[in-house]
A = this chain, B = another copy of it.
Amino acid sequence: MDHQRSRLRLIDVAKEAGVSIATASRALSGAAGVSEDITQRVRAVAGKLGYVANVHARSLAGGASSSVGLLVHEIGDPYFAEIASGVLRLGAQQGLTVQICHTGRDPDNELTQIRALIANRVRAIIIAGSGFVDAGMQVAAKEELRAFEASGGRVTVIGRHHLGADAVLPDNVAGGRSVTEHLLALGHRRIAFAAGSLALTTVADRLSGAAEALGAAGLSIAELPVVDVAFTREGGKVATERILHEFPDVTAILALNDDMAIGALSVLRAQGIAVPEEISVAGFDDVAVAEDLSPSLTTVRLPMAELGERALSLALKPPSARPRRRATGHVLVARDSTGPPRC
């Protein structure tokens, strides 16, 4: 490979501007100690020539890295796609390139991706996927990230992790409480939960919010069906079938993300069960399509793109002594998929 040969180098700009390569470098990077005059001239020349610095040379020479890494479970999942969108938007604005990697919610794979990002000398790593309830799942990653931070890298996570990094926290507990209160207020008592894997902090937190709301109403989640399946549309379908079969008296299903809720609606429609007349369904996240489903989905809106932007903006700040935690809000969006119970 010789992608770099024959392209414009800093020395070309320096010559054209009639200055040394050092001065040209300073002028372009906005370092102090260059006359305003020369700075302008160099920049004009660079612009005219269409010069763009070789990122690798810059980074190798000890300049600031201009790229950040984003780890998602799966970019095809709208939740992560929207987070990525926020990261990309702010990244472009800041002149950063964003490398995105899949983890597939597999800690081993996550570790591999983290290593690759570190080898790429990214300035920061943003971990968007849910944490694991069991801190042990990510000890290796934690160690690697610690070393990365020690050598000047930044790490931020979205969600509750045991990684000791700056975090942007989706309002999972309060959101779970809100949507459960909504169901309770409608009169539901026999509520079933279509939960993604309970090993994920996201699932655990949403469920714990639900438990709080139930507790406040004198109910106990321990007496209600919590079906632990995959955190996907397919999981939502499986959970719903199981709920219909094993707990026929249920009047509402709370899916712990919209994808699962979509799966639930799909099964209910296939079985000719009216929503919300016979069974109410609620989701979580408010992905774009939620409002256009039929019936439109009652759900908890999380500001996904904002989560991404805030995670990146945290990553761009210098580190603090203690990990920062940025809480975000949620909005309960009551639509047509929930209503009073049938009896």
A interface residues, Cβ below 8 angstroms from B: 1-7, 50, 52-57, 59-60, 62-65, 67, 74-78, 81-82, 84-85, 88-89, 92, 95, 97-102, 113, 115-121, 123, 147-148, 150-153, 233, 262-263, 265-266, 269, 288-289, 291-295, 305
Given known A-B contacts A6-B151, A64-B1, A152-B1, A97 and B101 have beta carbons under 8 A apart: yes
Q: In whole angstroms, what is the CA distance A67 to B98 when docked?
A: 11
CB < 8 Å: which of B81, B119, B151, B305 contacts A55? B119
Minimal Cβ-Cβ distance residue in B for A289? B289
Question: With A and B bound together, what is the CA distance between A121 and B115 in angstroms?
Answer: 20
Residue of B nearest to A116 (CB): B97
Whether A76 contacts B288 by the Cβ 8 Å rule is yes
Name which residue of chain B comes closest to A63, CB basis.
B1
Provide the bound-state CA to CA distance between A74 and B97, in Å.
15
Q: Are A67 and B6 in contact (CB under 8 A)?
A: no
User: How many Å lie between the Cα of A1 and that of B67 in the bound state?
Assistant: 13
Q: Which of B3, B62, B150 contacts A1 (CB 8 A)?
A: B62
* Nearest chain B residue, comparing its CB with the CB of A112: B92
Q: Residue on B with the closest CB to A258?
A: B289
Instruction: Report A234 CB to chain B, min CB distance, Å.
Output: 11
Return A22 CB to nearest CB of chain B, in Å.
19
Whether B293 lies near A76 (C-beta < 8 A) is: no
Identify which of B81, B101, B151 contacts A81 (C-beta below 8 A).
B81
Interface contact A1-B65, CB-CB below 8 Å: yes
B120 adjacent to A67 (CB under 8 Å) = yes
CA distance in complex: A88, B292 (Å): 29
Complex contacts, A148 vs chain B, CB 8 Å: 3
- Separation in Å of the A311 CB from the closest CB of chain B? 15
Shortest distance between the CB of A128 and any CB in chain B (Å):
12
Contacts of A88 in B (CB 8 A): 75, 100-102
Q: Judging by beta carbons under 8 Å apart, are B76 and A100 in contact? A: no
Query: Can you give 6 contacting A-B residue pairs, CB < 8 Å?
Result: A1-B123, A52-B119, A67-B99, A75-B75, A98-B101, A294-B294
12 additional A-B pairs beyond A56-B57, A75-B75, A98-B100, beta carbons within 8 Å, are A3-B153, A4-B59, A52-B119, A53-B119, A54-B60, A56-B59, A76-B305, A78-B81, A84-B100, A88-B100, A97-B101, A293-B294
> A76 is contacted by which of B81, B97, B266, B291 (Cβ under 8 Å)?
B81
A62 and B151: CB pair below 8 A? no
In the complex, what residues of B have CB within 8 A of residue A113's CB?
A: 92
Q: Kindly state the separation between the CA atoms of A99 and B55 in the bound complex, as whole angstroms.
A: 13
A216 vs chain B, min Cβ distance (A): 33
